[in-house]
Amino acid sequence: MKDFKINCHPLPGEFYARDTVTVSKDLLGCFLVHRTPAGATAGRIVETEAYLQGDPACHAARSMTPRNKVMFGPPGYAYVYFTYGMHYCFNVVSQAEGVGEAVLIRALEPVYNTGLMQQRRGRERLKDLCSGPAKLTQAMGIGIEQNCTDLTTGDLYLCAGDAGSAIITTTRIGIREGTDLLLRFYLQDSRYVSRK
């Protein structure tokens, strides 16, 4: 997107301190920015999933653990976890402090410094860079070091955007429990969604 400005203002903490489903939908069209020593990259959020405390697929469904405790902390923090022994997933903590909920960022449209994303991913096609949660963390240089990061300050943040498209609501992908819950949201017109 030619009109994207890398110096956009981070979304405030109040944005995240709301109902998780609402936050999941409102994040569509927003931008995820990460500044690293290798350079800054950014992508437009085109797909999200909500994870609620009473949801069997949510990491916080049973209780607080050392792994998931950031989900129970202040809203607007990053929850990054390692999965399948090889991938990282990036989530934003939502709801009030003490409620273990978060939004998984599932897919991005690459919009800034795509060359660095291509180098990190070892892929050329823009569609292949961020069309899945593990792909986007690799392309954006996000790892376990970013877990517990305050997304309202610093080098990893989200800024406002515009969905500009109808929002599709459907079931989530890649989980074994809670498969019937309509908690995945994506932009209908985006070709960067992981799966339609």
Question: From the CB of residue 170, how many other CB atoms can be counted at a distance below 10 Å?
Answer: 13
Contact 144, 89 (CB under 8 A): no
The dihedral through the CA atoms of 18, 20, 21, 23 has a sign that is: positive
102: β partners: 51, 93
Its pTM surpasses 0.85: yes
Contact 77, 70 (CB under 8 A): yes
How many domains would you assign to the chain?
1
Which among 138, 74, 131, 134 is positioned nearest to 100, based on CA atoms? Answer: 74
The dihedral through the CA atoms of 181, 59, 150, 192 has a sign that is: negative
Residue 12 per-residue DSSP state: P
Residue 169 in tokens: 């609501």
Q: What is the pLDDT at residue 109?
A: 97
Residue 158 in tokens: 């989200």
Question: Within 13 Å of residue 148, how many CA atoms lie on the same side as its CB?
Answer: 7
| Cα angle 187, 189, 190; round to 5 | 70
Is residue 5 in some structural domain? no
Q: How far apart are CA 86 and CA 135, in angstroms?
A: 11
Is residue 193 in some structural domain? no
Residue 193 in tokens: 């969604």
CATH number of the domain encompassing residue 107: 3.10.300.10
Q: Which domain holds residue 135?
A: 13-187
Q: How far apart are CA 10 and CA 115, in angstroms?
A: 24
Is residue 20 in some structural domain? yes
Is residue 98 in some structural domain? yes
Is residue 192 in some structural domain? no
Mean pLDDT per 10-residue segment, the chain (196 residues): 75 97 98 96 98 91 88 96 85 96 98 96 96 97 97 96 93 90 97 93
Is residue 8 in some structural domain? no
Is residue 195 in some structural domain? no
Which among 20, 11, 18 is positioned nearest to 183, based on CA atoms? Answer: 20
